[in-house]
């Protein structure tokens, strides 16, 4: 049996078990991938202050994110095509997150539908929304999320246009995979994945096919999607969605202090400092690099979360020290899912929790709510302007 001790172990195993086009979809950035790499490398420059001879009994990681109690300040990020990393992937990840006591966020571009996930979970999950030109479709999506008892809406604003992702283009990314010779040869080396997919009916975009007007199969879906991302998206649309939703609203894709102020003015409950995992604007700042200025700009007026580059519990606590109220993990849980299904997502969360708890202890703290810049070595972390 493979011994899994860190997120990298899950990544290596996922790469062996997941078809190339879907592994590359999860583990790649846009253009030269400089921002994708900076998301992780910028964390490594931040150093801790180790403390000793303090009481470390009864440590707690319990917190809240967007008003929801969480076992640790970590949520599963919305990731497209999760159900292509492993059969029924969104359902498995949602169940693992629920059992662990952390939020799961379902993507608009998921394979399993909102209704699929709701039918296999007992507690509310979060739903991530892209704004499409077809406002009636958006209205129906919001109503479906309400009917599924989703407790927060995560509105992503940084995908009006699609970043150039070279690996996806080369691989001819599609769900399900097109039966080309190259794909068939690669799939022949992934028997576990293939057997799982044969056992499920969920192989396309469950929130869209059969729900969007005139989209009934993959060919019509491709045409619809290419025309639907809204280039005219504005903060007025955000205000409309806030009113239409009526519940907790979290805005994702914020990398600029001025845009953070707009989130406050639009009435959002939280924002996520995020560069879409380095998959949109290559050459942008890392998420951890952008975090301090955004925290400074909005103070306590809105809850600040972040994602991008987190590969360990140590990365989590660094983000918390720089002002994040919570973080989201995308690739780490996808590695776990691709490697070992639901058990792999649980193992990912166990690793993050253990590393977060031990690092907090080494820094001399017992309560994650007390984490701040005092645990970091001065000069090693990004400063606000």
- The packing angle between helices 235-245 and 257-265, to 10°, is 40
Q: Is 49 annotated as a binding residue?
A: no
HSE-up (13 A, CA, CB side) for residue 55: 3
Exposure string of 369-383, with b = 16+ CB inside 10 Å and e = fewer, is: eebeeebbeeeebbe
Is 274 assigned a ligand-binding role in the annotation?
yes
**302 annotated to a ligand binding site:** no
Find out whether 100 and 349 touch, Cβ atoms under 8 Å: yes
With beta carbons less than 8 A apart as the criterion, state whether 271 and 260 touch: yes
* Interatomic CA distance for residues 268 and 247, integer angstroms: 10
| Separation of alpha carbons 300 and 292, rounded Å | 13
Nearest of 383, 318, 322 to residue 356 by alpha carbon: 318
Nearest to 349 by CA among 338, 369, 364, 334: 334
**From 120, 166, 211, 276, the catalytic residue:** 276
At residue 257's C-alpha, the angle toward residues 105 and 125, to 5°, is 10
* Residue 219: burial class (beta carbons within 10 Å; 0-12, 13-18, 19+): exposed
Per-residue DSSP letter, 85? T
**Separation in Å, CA 133 to CA 130, 156, 229:** 10, 14, 6
What is the DSSP-derived secondary structure letter of residue 376? B
Annotated binding residue at 156? yes
**30 is an annotated ligand-binding site residue:** no
- The answer to the question of whether 108 is labelled as a binding residue is no
Residue 236 assigned as binding residue: no
User: Is 286 marked as binding a ligand?
Assistant: no
| Residue given tokens 């195993």 in the structure block | 13
The annotation status of 95 as a binding-site residue, yes or no, is no
Task: Determine whether the annotation assigns residue 343 to a binding site.
Answer: no
User: Does the annotation place 330 within a ligand binding site?
Assistant: yes
149 in a known ligand binding site:
no
C-alpha span between 43 and 69 (Å, rounded) = 27
Q: Is 165 annotated as a binding residue?
A: yes
Residue 262 among the catalytic residues: no
Does residue 130 have a known ligand-binding role?
A: yes
Q: Is 7 one of the annotated binding-site residues?
A: no
Query: Any binding-site annotation on 192?
Result: no
Pick out the residues of the known binding site for FMN.
78-80, 107, 128, 130, 156, 252, 274, 307-311, 330-331
Pick out the residues of the known binding site.
25, 78-80, 107, 128, 130, 156, 165, 252, 274, 276, 279, 307-311, 330-331
Residues annotated as part of the active site: 276
Pick out the residues of the known binding site for glyoxylate.
25, 165, 276, 279
């Amino acid at each position: 049996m493979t011994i899994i001790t860190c997120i990298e172990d899950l990544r290596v195993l996922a790469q062996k078990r997941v078809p190339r086009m879907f592994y590359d979809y999860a583990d790649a950035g846009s253009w030269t991938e400089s921002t994708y790499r900076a998301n992780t490398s910028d964390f490594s420059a931040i150093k801790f202050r180790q403390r000793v001879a303090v009481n470390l009994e009864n440590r707690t990681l319990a917190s809240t994110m967007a008003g929801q109690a969480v076992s640790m300040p970590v949520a599963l990020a919305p990731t497209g095509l999760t159900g292509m990393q492993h059969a029924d992937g969104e359902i498995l990840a949602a169940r693992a997150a629920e059992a662990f006591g952390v939020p799961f966020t379902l993507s608009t571009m998921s394979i399993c539908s909102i209704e699929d996930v709701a039918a296999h979970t007992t507690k509310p999950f979060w739903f991530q929304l892209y704004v499409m030109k077809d406002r009636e479709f958006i209205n129906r999506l919001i109503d479906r999320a309400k009917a599924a008892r989703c407790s927060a809406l995560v509105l992503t604003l940084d995908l009006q246009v699609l970043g150039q992702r070279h690996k996806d283009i080369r691989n001819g990314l599609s769900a399900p995979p097109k039966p080309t010779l190259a794909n068939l040869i690669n799939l022949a080396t992934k028997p576990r994945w293939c057997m799982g997919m044969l056992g499920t009916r969920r192989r396309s975009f469950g929130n869209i096919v059969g729900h969007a007007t005139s989209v009934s199969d993959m060919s019509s879906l491709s045409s619809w999607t290419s025309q639907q991302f809204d280039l005219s998206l504005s903060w007025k649309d955000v205000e409309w969605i806030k009113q239409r939703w009526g519940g907790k609203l979290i805005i994702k894709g914020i990398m600029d202090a001025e845009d953070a102020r707009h989130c406050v003015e639009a009435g959002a409950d939280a924002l996520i400092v995020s560069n879409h995992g380095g998959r949109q604007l290559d050459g942008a700042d890392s998420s951890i690099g952008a975090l301090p200025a955004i925290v400074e700009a909005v103070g306590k007026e809105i809850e600040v979360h972040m994602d991008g580059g987190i590969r360990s519990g140590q990365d989590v606590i660094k983000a918390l020290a720089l002002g994040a109220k919570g973080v989201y993990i995308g690739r780490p849980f996808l590695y776990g899912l691709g490697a070992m299904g639901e058990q792999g997502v649980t193992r990912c969360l166990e690793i993050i929790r253990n590393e977060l708890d031990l690092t907090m202890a080494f820094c001399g703290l017992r309560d994650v709510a007390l984490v701040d810049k005092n645990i970091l070595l001065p000069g090693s972390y990004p400063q606000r302007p």
